[in-house]
Structure 1
Amino acid sequence: MKLPTRPSRATSLRHFLLRWLLGGLGLVMASIALFQLVAGFVNLAQAQDQRLVERLGHREASGAEVATSMDRDAAFYRIGLADGSWIAGDRLLEAFPWTTSLPASGEPWLYVSRRDGSPVRAAAALRHEAHGAGRRIVVQVAEPLIARFAVWRAYPPALFGWLGLVAAGMSLVIVTGVAMTSRWLERARRALDAPQLDLALYDGPSELRPAVARMQDLHVKQREWVEEQRRFLADASHQLRTPMSVLRTQLQSAIAGDVPASEILPQMLHTVDRATDMANQLLSLSKLEQIKRAGKLQTIALHAVALDAVMELAPLIAAKRLDFALEGDEKLGARGDALMLGELLRNLLANAIHHTPDAGRLGIVLRAYAGTVELVVWDEGQGVDDALRPRLFQAFSATKGGVGLGLSICRQIAEAMGASMEIYNRVDAGHVIGVDAVVRWSQGP
């Protein structure tokens, strides 16, 4: 069972830098102080062990010589036999319990013992008895164990005072640096908020210059897009108002009985069809904007998309008894979006069907050559007047009763897929025999 993860909370860059840098500085200072404390402890422990060994005297010294030396020192000492019997020194110091483990060479044995219930650091060694049968005796010396932990006496508070002073100075440097960084970021924010920005005057962080330039470019494109949509909506509302006004007039005439129903109803049906076409084209433009913003293009099979569009418009082709042909490599592909390309083909085919005379011919050709892929919709229409060509792809510039959006949408779809679209008159022996609508991808799939 997977436990739910808690989403990370957003925080300011300034707070993050302060916590990270000051926390890191504190960790470094604490590490230095801890190292000094550990080093002090080790030095004190080594010094104490060295003193104890020195107080034991030379390994060849006799017990009497050891006792005389101990009397001159402040350390606790005890001299006894191997069985633990006391001979001289401090009776409160416990006897060495592991006499059989002491080296016969007289090397000292360092250990922790007790004196009157208090822990002590002790050293023990074998020595010769000064008088008598030359027996070996056990000599012990000790100091309070607490002496090896008195680090504060070995490293005075002045050292830690210096550490604190250095930490305060570094903290001031960090806070100042973060404050300067915050001011630079504030300059970048003001630059992004400015409606017009000359990048030559930008004085924020150089690392943010590409992001600022990119955001300014997006702002410009957004303003252009909003202005374009505003103009489009104004034109669309004007174009839709016309068929609605015509339909209203026709309804009033039908209600008043000024025109026979058999005459006015077909007119009303034509007006409704024109308004429906307009609404469908506007919806197509809305769909196109959504797909363009998604920006997900992939290689698609042109033949399959063309076949779907032809099957959808087959009733219109059959109604005019047109001879249709779909030619080209079925495996040919290009970068695009199947929905967008289908919308483009339906518009071009509907336009070709409308302009092709009854029992005429039209078709689609798919071809590739020299790294170029082309999709051609051809018909046997009357051709395009040269006077109309400059505004052929402008929105709401219809001729012969059209709504004026089809070719404009087709070109926008082609450009959104990285292709181009043009309309050519097909000429034979100096006469126009039809029209070719060519969608061209300059690079192959």
Structure 2
Amino acid sequence: MKLPLGNSLRARLLFFLLASILVAAVAQGVVAYRSTLQQTDQIFDAQLVSTATSLTAGDGLLSASPMPSIDAAPADDLIIQIWTASGARLFKSRTGKLLPDPVVLGFSDVRVDTSTYRVYAVASPFQVTQVAQDMKVRRDTARALALRTLVPIAAVAPLLMLVVWFVVGTSLRPLRRARAELAARQPEALDPVDESGLPDEILPLVRELNLLLDRTRHAFALQRRFVGDAAHELRSPLAALRLQLQALQRPGDAEAHQVALQRLASGIERASRLIEQLLSMARHDAAAEALPAQRVDLGEVARQAIADVLAEANAHDMDIGMDGAAHAWVRGNSDALALLLRNLLDNAIKYTPSGGRIDIILEPTPGGARLLVDDSGPGVPEAERERVFDRFYRLANHDEVGSGLGLSIVRAIAERHGATVRLDQAPQLGGLRVQVDFPALS
């Protein structure tokens, strides 16, 4: 049977607690009532025994002269009859209220007219004494005493219900406060919910909610930064494309149009590369905590990356080689590691003069694995080796036009894999060496 309480925790707590108090009070009242009735019966029976015993004389004094009847006794008085051993009635306490014969020794219930009497009879060598009491009088008196025992229970139960109502309401007040705080928030408000005063049962839920809000705030910050970066970086290429298009629209000779077309194609290629890198950066920023961890062979990743950039390297008459260990196993995401290596190779191809050389070296280390990418280009001055990892930072006095995102993406992917990236001078080729140290495979 489904109770009409909905999903309200407060309603359920109050219903079951108040119902439990009510059921307990009723059960206690029933037990107390029945116990009081039973004890009252025992007291009245003891009174009958005591009265009969006190009226029974062992020396036969009552048989000497009959005792007069007591006509003025109240209705709830005891009915007393005394008989001689031969059966003659010596005493009766009330006229018209004679108990029938025969006399039954001990306790018995006797029906007289419409009334029932509780009778106790005791015999001695000289007389038989009967003491009786109307059961109605006994029941009324016993019920009055029993009802008195219910008064404290009836008074305490509502008071206890009020206490439970107050305690439940007070205990759930921090939850209502948190709910009101969330309901009053604007959609862009992602500050953590106040955890002070929350009960231990609700605190883990609110903490998880705060973690979710923190991740959402971080995602929104990344999104805003991406939009700002994209708007800033795309402004220049688009302006350049507009200028090239205007140059094509102006009348001129075929050679000028050919130069404008080449510049337009080059500008489109740069804009496409910038957009691709921006999207890659945004995708890996958003997936910072969702990279699946698996065993990845850096050797296989390097061979695939070489195949991806081989056409561009051949166009620049560059030699790409691979040395060192054939395999190096790390734990991470193969797609992200492939993007890391492609960015390193793209940078090397872009900044290395035509006819140059690029080497990829894999080395197992006691702490994991090491990836080295050496080129024969001009390298990076030591003073700027840390700054080139900043987004959109480009070296000054350099002919190549880039987005300044390649090494930033490399460092972001490396950090998500627990790896470190360091720039140095290539010992043999003389250009830039990019060293990526991966942790041990766990």
| CA separation of 1:311 and 1:229: change in aligned 2, threshold 3 A | same
* Offset from partner CA, 1:258-292 (integer Å, 9 cap, x none): 46322111111100000000110111022112321
What corresponds to 1:233 in structure 2?
Answer: 227
| Alignment of 1:315 onto 2:308 | no
- Deviation of 1:402 after TM superposition, in Å, equals 0.7
What corresponds to 1:411 in structure 2?
Answer: 411
| CA separation of 1:198 and 1:236: change in aligned 2, threshold 3 A | closer
Q: Secondary structure at the match of 1:294?
A: coil
| Alignment of 1:361 onto 2:357 | yes
- Deviation of 1:441 after TM superposition, in Å, equals 2.9
What corresponds to 1:14 in structure 2?
Answer: 10
The answer on whether the counterparts of 1:356 and 1:379 sit within 8 Å (CA) in structure 2 is yes
| Alignment of 1:168 onto 2:162 | no
Q: Secondary structure at the match of 1:156?
A: helix
What corresponds to 2:242 in structure 1?
Answer: 248
What corresponds to 2:334 in structure 1?
Answer: 338
| CA separation of 1:204 and 1:382: change in aligned 2, threshold 3 A | same
Amino acid of the structure 2 residue aligned with 1:412: A
What corresponds to 2:168 in structure 1?
Answer: 178
Matches within 5 A, 1:17-416: 17-29=13-25, 32=28, 68-70=102-104, 75=109, 156-186=146-176, 204-205=197-198, 207=200, 226-227=220-221, 229-258=223-252, 260=254, 261-294=257-290, 296-319=292-315, 320-328=317-325, 330=327, 332-334=329-331, 336-399=332-395, 400-416=400-416
What corresponds to 2:54 in structure 1?
Answer: none
- Deviation of 1:70 after TM superposition, in Å, equals 4.4
Rg comparison, structure with higher value = 2
Q: Secondary structure at the match of 1:392?
A: helix
| CA separation of 1:314 and 1:69: change in aligned 2, threshold 3 A | farther
Q: Secondary structure at the match of 1:313?
A: helix
Q: Secondary structure at the match of 2:359?
A: strand
* Offset from partner CA, 1:121-179 (integer Å, 9 cap, x none): xxxxxxxxxxxxxxxxxxxxxxxxxxxxx9x9599344444333332222222221122
The answer on whether the counterparts of 2:192 and 2:210 sit within 8 Å (CA) in structure 1 is yes
Q: Give me the TM-score of the superposition, normalised by structure 2.
A: 0.64
Once the two structures are overlaid, the 10-residue window that deviates more, 276-285 or 183-192, is 183-192
What corresponds to 1:423 in structure 2?
Answer: 423
What corresponds to 1:104 in structure 2?
Answer: none
Aligned-partner Cα distance in 2 for 1:154–1:72? 27
Aligned-residue CA RMSD (Å): 4.8
Aligned-partner Cα distance in 2 for 1:75–1:414? 100
- Deviation of 1:195 after TM superposition, in Å, equals 8.4
Q: Secondary structure at the match of 2:426?
A: strand
- Deviation of 1:410 after TM superposition, in Å, equals 1.3
Q: Secondary structure at the match of 1:382?
A: coil
What corresponds to 1:92 in structure 2?
Answer: none
* Offset from partner CA, 1:318-353 (integer Å, 9 cap, x none): 33241411542525223x222222211111111122
Aligned-partner Cα distance in 2 for 1:301–1:389? 28
| CA separation of 1:337 and 1:314: change in aligned 2, threshold 3 A | same
- Deviation of 1:237 after TM superposition, in Å, equals 0.8
Aligned-partner Cα distance in 2 for 1:347–1:256? 38
| CA separation of 1:170 and 1:435: change in aligned 2, threshold 3 A | same
Amino acid of the structure 1 residue aligned with 2:152: W
Q: Secondary structure at the match of 2:361?
A: strand
Q: Give me the TM-score of the superposition, normalised by structure 1.
A: 0.63
